[in-house]
């Protein structure tokens, strides 16, 4: 399926995507990697520094998670790639044996480095500005790579596409992401185009670096996903997806969306990308955790999602519910004895994390800054999004996805 | 067993203490309340504001906890007694059906009110200075009660022994503590004596208030423990314990120790109290969580312990281990792949909370201020103290308590 030969990655050996059901463009699939399988559509919570904030591996198991993100940028800075590698890689490091997908670090380098404070990014993509930025300075991108200052101590650092592959290899990711250039939106068309072109050059170099690692047997079964860019311009987006697909990867990230553009603008760009990405590879829309955008993207044929949204909202007191967002700090919940989550146990018989605690109790804990509250709301919000994609899987299997999407949009759009 | 008639509490109806084994003065027992039973010696973690910091009811179950403390002072201020009561009392409020013991609030009123900042207290007793004090002002004790300013908003408040019973009744405690006057040590003998005398007057009033609540069937099976004072003076301590025992309570707190005096000073005072407290009632040494002091006190015939120590140490990076305290932030742990807790599963087959995570991982999480680290260390430290008292129970049953105490002291004294 790879249009390019020679240095290209050998995707079919590393990842398979089995299409179990389809409903329109929406796909219900199963991804198999060297580690095992996961069901799609999937929502992947973000463990920026090696842990989803407030949670640990025991929680991932209890939530039934199959994939968790880890942030290359943050981990290479603290505790450092050497340390994670010497402690056995991400799985032994964190005590979890599910799938880890690592981002390339490029998004953090650029969002943290955009301006002092790094605050001009929505920051919903994993571990960007707002997930611990403290020492920001301008990043500088050239054709060869990116130069930046560490947000931790200001050290001047350099990362090339080859470096990103090597760092993620040593971190022990199950799925690596190629280093990309991600402009915020809106940006001048010229900049969006230049970012896409540089992303393509870097993607080919990342693929070559991974091929080399595979030839010398140092890749340990790791998968590499390419990332298409192109902003919200459908034509540019389509060409970028074609170019990345032509290089040949185990799966495909769709980057540079949900970075400032409206949901209406995102749709055509997304459809342009999924329309040309190979049908037999998983597709991953990066940084999207809003229920309405998730179902839009599933309808367009996307399989994988990540976002810091459920944990960030949760620890600040916002809970996702079947009726929309609620702010648990609101005085109306002070004497509310109803549980945060009054739905029955999930399909696997697991009690939902918000089922045991009343809104009044959580309102109290949040208002006196007890970390227990942020933890419970984080667990709840992640379970909520896990349920959402689980319900989407069931709806696709049943051929009822359009009706499901309508129900979600009635609440979330 | 009560020496006083008339207004005294009716302990035998509310709590029974079954002595299962003894080894010297050390007791292995079982306490039965209206809620159920718990095994002694017991360690009771502190949930200051309705949750042990970082934990929730699901964790209490997983740790196998039988009793958790809740702080009357903090809960009556936030969310307020009315709110806890309207949400069904502590058990429905927190989602936990184990035993809740509430302190009377007196320790907080006095330690928080002692001086601006309230920092002259060791603060190891539950939820005192350092567990959230922010707005301190002098407390004023008179014969009738205590006047203080709320640490939350500076409101002037008043609490009498009768108020303390009523608030704890409405909170829905399983075990209430009578309001006492707790001087720090060292204090002038005159002050220690006056505090004890006032404590006795208040204890009789608390017992009368509880008797009245029982007569009008509003006490819901709650137990009331009296508290003896007397500082580190064995004779004063003995007389205080006799006086409190003479009033007649369901169990007995030993207050005003571990508040500044040395371990050597604590011993004789403790022995003076346990020597005269009724053998058929549980005895509770308040605010002690140091392993050496716990085994000292068990040797003297104490059954119950509480302390903020395991959670406070844990969330700041200190772990209790069979070889003593370690500070997980230390650089020596940076690449340490050994688990925090390398002991096998506990007697009930439960994996210990520190078994899954390496010291290197926890060191990393703690050094980047991830709350996950404080949570895991809190769970670990509480499990450690639960194991300590569990081992003490087994040692008493086996008639090996002296050897057990020596092993503990070899590490902890």
Q: Supply the pTM of this predicted model.
A: 0.93
Residue A6 in this model has a pLDDT that exceeds 80: no
- Decide if pLDDT at B370 tops 50: yes
Sorting pLDDT into bands at 50, 70 and 90, what band is B114? low
Quick check: A361 and B93 CB within 8 A?
Answer: yes
Cross-chain Cβ contact B360/A92 below 8 Å: no
A210 in Cβ contact with A219 (< 8 Å) = yes
The string of pLDDT tens digits covering residues A49-88 is 999 999 999 999 999 999 999 999 999 999 999 999 999 9
Nearest chain B residue (CA) to A133: B368
Name the minimum distance, in Å, from the CA of B221 to any CA of chain A: 23
What does the pLDDT read at residue B2? 39
Tell me the per-residue pLDDT of A232-245, one tens digit each, with 9 for 90 and over: 999 999 999 999 99
pLDDT of residue B137: 55
Average pLDDT (A361-385) is: 98
**What does the alpha-carbon distance between residue B252 and residue B262 come to, in Å, rounded to a whole number?**
22
What confidence score (pLDDT) does residue A126 get?
58
CA geometry: angle A305, A87, A131, nearest 5 deg = 40
Confidence check: pLDDT of B5 > 70: no
Q: Which residue of A has its CA nearest to B363?
A: A79
pLDDT at A115 over 60: no
- Quick check: B368 and A86 CB within 8 A? no
Domains of chain B by start residue, with CATH = 13-307 (3.20.20.105), 315-412 (no CATH)
In a mutational test of the B interface, the residue from A47, A55, A56 whose CB has the highest number of chain B CBs within 10 Å is A56
Q: Which of A55, A80, A368 to mutate to test the interface with B (most CBs of B within 10 A)?
A: A368
Residues B378-400: pLDDT tens digits?
Answer: 999 999 999 999 999 999 999 99
For residues A384-403, give the mean pLDDT: 98
Residue of A23, A163, A166, A306 with catalytic role: A306
In B, minimum Cα distance to A79 occurs at B364
Beta carbons of B375 and A49 less than 8 Å apart: no
Please give the Cα distance from B70 to B93 (Å, whole number).
12
User: Reduced to 3 states, what is the DSSP secondary structure of residue A338?
Assistant: coil
Q: Do the chains contact at B93 and A57, CB–CB below 8 Å?
A: no
Minimal Cα–Cα distance from B385 to chain A, Å?
Answer: 21
Average pLDDT over residues A175-183: 96
> Which value does ipTM take for this structure?
0.93
Quick one: pLDDT at residue B126?
Answer: 57
Give the closest-approach CA distance of B145 to chain A in angstroms.
27
Residue from A60, A329, A370 whose CB has the most chain B CBs within 10 Å, to mutate? A370
Residue A308 has pLDDT above 80, yes or no: yes
Q: Would the CB atoms of B356 and A79 count as touching at under 8 Å?
A: no
What pLDDT, on the 0 to 100 scale, is given for residue B122?
Answer: 41
Nearest-Cα distance to chain B for A44, in Å, is 18
| Residue B268 pLDDT exceeds 80 | yes
The least confident of B53-67, B106-120, B244-258, B398-412 is B106-120
Query: For residue B351, is pLDDT > 50?
Result: yes
| pLDDT at position B302 over 80 | yes
Chain B neighbors of A356, CB-CB under 8 A = 56-58, 95
Whether B337 and A365 lie within 8 Å, measured CB to CB: no
Phi-psi region of B55 (alpha: psi -120 to 50; beta: other; left: phi over 0): beta
Query: Quick check: A375 and B376 CB within 8 A?
Result: no
| Residues B148-191: tens digit of each pLDDT | 999 899 999 999 999 999 999 999 999 999 999 998 889 999 99
Contact (Cβ atoms closer than 8 angstroms) between residue B103 and residue B69 = yes
Residue of B nearest to A47 (CA): B370
Chain A's closest residue to B52, CA to CA, is A372
pLDDT of residue A7: 46
The CA distance from B154 to the nearest CA of chain A, in Å, is: 16
How far is B334 from B355, CA to CA, in rounded Å?
A: 17
pLDDT tens figures, B316-329: 999 999 999 999 99
Q: Nearest Cβ partner of A334 from B83, B334, B361?
A: B83
Specify the pLDDT at position A224: 98
Is residue A22 within a helix (H) or strand (E), and if so which, with residue range? strand A16-23
| C-alpha to C-alpha distance for B75 and B84, rounded to whole angstroms | 8
State mean pLDDT over A184-189. Answer: 91
Contact: B93, A358; criterion CB under 8 Å = yes
C-beta of residue A314 within 8 angstroms of C-beta of residue A377: yes
| CA angle A394–A288–A294, rounded 5-degree value | 30
Q: Quick check: B53 and A93 CB within 8 A? A: no
Over the range A98-107, which residues count as b (16 or more CB within 10 Å of their CB) and which as e?
A: bbbbbbbbbb
Tell me the catalytic residues of B. Answer: 103, 306
Counting residues of chain B whose pLDDT is more than 90, the rounded percentage is 83
d(CA B147, CA B150): 10
8 A C-beta contact, residue B81 and residue B171:
yes
Q: How confident is the model at residue A134 (pLDDT cuts 50, 70, 90)?
A: very low
Take residue A214 and report the two structure tokens written for it: 């595979």
Residue with tokens 């080894």: B23
Q: B133 falls in which pLDDT band (50, 70, 90)?
A: very low
Cβ neighbours of B52 in A, within 8 Å: 372
Residue A2 confidence (pLDDT) above 60: no
């Amino acid at each position: 399926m790879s249009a390019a030969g020679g240095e290209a990655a050998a995707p079919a050996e590393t990842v398979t995507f089995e299409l179990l059901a389809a409903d329109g463009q929406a796909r219900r699939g199963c991804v198999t990697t060297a580690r095992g399988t996961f069901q799609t559509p999937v929502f992947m919570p973000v463990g920026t520094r090696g842990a989803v904030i407030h949670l640990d591996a025991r929680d991932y198991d209890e939530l039934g998670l199959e994939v968790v993100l880890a942030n290359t940028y943050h981990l290479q800075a603290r505790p450092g790639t050497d340390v994670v590698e010497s402690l056995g890689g991400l799985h032994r490091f964190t005590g979890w044996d599910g799938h880890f997908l690592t981002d390339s670090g490029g998004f953090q380098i650029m969002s943290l480095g955009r301006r002092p404070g790094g605050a001009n990014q929505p920051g919903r993509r994993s571990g960007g500005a707002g997930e611990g930025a403290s020492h920001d300075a301008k990043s500088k991108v050239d054709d060869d790579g990116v130069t930046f200052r560490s947000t931790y101590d200001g050290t001047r650092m350099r990362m090339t596409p080859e470096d990103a592959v090597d760092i993620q290899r040593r971190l022990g990711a199950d799925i690596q992401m190629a280093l990309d250039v991600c402009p915020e939106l809106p940006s001048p068309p010229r900049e969006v185009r230049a970012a896409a072109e540089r992303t393509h050059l870097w993607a080919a170099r990342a693929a070559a670096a991974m091929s080399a690692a595979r030839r010398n047997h140092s890749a340990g079964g790791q998968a590499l996903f390419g990332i298409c860019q192109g902003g919200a311009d459908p034509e540019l987006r389509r060409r970028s997806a074609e170019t990345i697909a032509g290089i040949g990867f185990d799966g495909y990230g769709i980057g540079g969306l949900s970075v400032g553009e409206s949901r209406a603008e995102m749709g055509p760009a997304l459809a342009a990308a999924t329309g040309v990405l190979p049908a037999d590879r998983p597709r991953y829309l990066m940084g999207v955790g809003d229920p309405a955008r998730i179902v839009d993207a599933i309808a367009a044929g996307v399989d994988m999602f990540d976002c810091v949204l459920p944990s960030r909202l949760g620890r600040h007191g916002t809970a996702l519910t079947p009726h929309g967002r609620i702010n648990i700090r609101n005085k109306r919940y002070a004497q509310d004895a109803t549980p945060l989550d009054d739905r029955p146990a999930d399909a696997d018989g697991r009690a939902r994390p918000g089922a045991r605690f009343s809104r009044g109790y959580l309102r109290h804990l949040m208002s006196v800054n007890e970390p227990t509250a942020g933890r419970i709301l984080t667990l709840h919000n992640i379970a909520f999004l896990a349920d959402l994609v689980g319900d989407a899987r069931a709806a696709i299997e049943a051929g009822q996805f359009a009706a499901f999407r309508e129900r979600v949009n009635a609440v979330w759009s």
